[in-house]
């Protein structure tokens, strides 16, 4: 009964948070894009070669968005005509990094852990974005016109603050209706796992005595929907139970980077090939980062 109550509480809490975040961020992005010239956004994030990917990762690092609220921003960037590879670097980096995460990691796990986490996730996000671009998978984006021709032209924009805000919300509401069913399914699955998976079992199967602890931790973290800020206290408890720092880092990255609600909503933007590649990349980022942490610390 207690697990059932936790499951329902988790579902309604996360669902309410996602609805508010999605509508608020979608409205904000649409509103900002009415005032910020597309060329300026593209200049910030479309540097030559790898520079654009680096800027996207830094942009993701300073925007405190959880995994699912990254999706509205992704739509905005794609519609603004930002390079596909650059956007993918942002998609990978955004849910994993923000200033609060860096401070929490440094305070509770040590500054070498915080710096290592930031460097490793940044490097993997940049490399992954470049890889996506080289593969030429921009045609795997659906429901979005990559050259920005889906945007209203200047003469078609509503005039006045209130009219623009209303138009922005209507656009956000339309986007929300398109992903609502994905959101319900994803949060329901994540809530069931969250409510019935004991942390003692996680520590047992992914303890230091198991050579596959990092891989197991990454696999267990994959179906969970957790913000990095929420995962850090869980990681501290798991370390106290005997889990290695590398296994905890793998759990945090996979749990925050491969969230089921995020994947289900990304599926409304990207075709299956990108979703599968995204899961593989984040999983390997989690495992390799965990192994590196265990070797260095």
The tens place of each residue's pLDDT in the chain, 297 residues long, gives: 667 887 888 788 878 877 887 788 778 877 877 776 656 666 777 666 788 899 888 887 766 555 556 777 787 788 777 888 888 998 888 878 766 678 878 887 889 999 999 999 999 999 999 999 888 888 888 755 544 443 434 446 677 888 889 988 988 888 788 768 767 876 787 677 667 766 666 667 776 677 888 998 898 888 776 666 667 777 777 777 778 889 989 988 988 788 776 777 788 788 889 999 999 999 999 999 999 998 887
DSSP conformation class of 210: -
The b-or-e profile of 230-245 (16+ CB within 10 A means b, else e) is: ebbebbeebbeeebbb
Tokens of 108: 């509770």
Residue 58 domain boundaries: 2-296
Distance CA 143, CA 96 (A): 26
168 Cα distance to chain centroid? 23
Tell me how long the chain is.
297
Tokens of 206: 């992914």
Whether residue 48 contacts residue 83, with contact meaning beta carbons closer than 8 Å, is answered with: no
Tokens of 125: 């996000």
Tokens of 185: 């399914």
pLDDT value for 130: 92
Query: Angle CA(16)–CA(170)–CA(271) in degrees, nearest 5?
Result: 75
User: What is the number of structural domains in the chain?
Assistant: 1
pLDDT value for 122: 93
Distance CA 75, CA 26 (A): 9
pLDDT value for 152: 37
Residue owning tokens 């998978």: 137
The b-or-e profile of 178-199 (16+ CB within 10 A means b, else e) is: ebeebbeebbbbbbbbbbeeee
Distance CA 228, CA 293 (A): 17
């Amino acid at each position: 009964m207690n697990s059932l109550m936790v499951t329902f509480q988790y579902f309604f809490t996360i669902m309410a948070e996602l609805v508010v975040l999605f509508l608020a961020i979608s409205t904000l992005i649409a509103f900002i894009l009415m005032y910020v010239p597309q060329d300026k956004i593209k200049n910030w994030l479309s540097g030559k070669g790898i520079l654009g990917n680096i800027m996207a990762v830094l942009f993701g690092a300073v925007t405190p968005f959880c995994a699912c609220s990254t999706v509205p921003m992704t739509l905005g960037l794609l519609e603004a005509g930002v390079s596909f590879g650059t956007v993918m670097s942002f998609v990978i980096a955004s849910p994993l990094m923000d200033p609060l995460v860096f401070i929490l990691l440094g305070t509770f796990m040590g500054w070498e852990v915080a710096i290592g986490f930031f460097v490793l996730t940044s490097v993997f996000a940049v490399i992954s974005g470049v890889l996506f671009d080289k593969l030429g998978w921009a045609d795997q984006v659906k429901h979005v016109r990559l050259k920005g021709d889906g945007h209203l032209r200047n003469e078609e924009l509503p005039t006045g603050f209130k009219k623009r805000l209303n138009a922005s919300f209507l656009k956000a509401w339309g986007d929300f209706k398109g992903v609502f069913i994905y959101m319900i399914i994803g949060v329901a699955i994540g809530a069931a796992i969250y409510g019935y998976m004991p942390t003692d079992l996680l520590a047992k199967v992914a303890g230091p005595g198991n050579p596959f602890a990092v891989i197991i931790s990454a696999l267990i973290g994959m179906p969970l929907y957790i913000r990095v800020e929420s995962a850090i206290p869980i990681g501290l408890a798991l370390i106290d139970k005997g889990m290695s720092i590398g296994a905890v880092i793998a759990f945090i990255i996979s749990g925050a980077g491969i969230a089921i609600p995020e994947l289900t909503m990304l599926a409304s933007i990207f075709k299956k090939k990108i979703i599968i590649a995204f899961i593989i990349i984040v999983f390997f980022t989690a495992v390799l980062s965990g192994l590196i942490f265990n070797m260095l610390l």
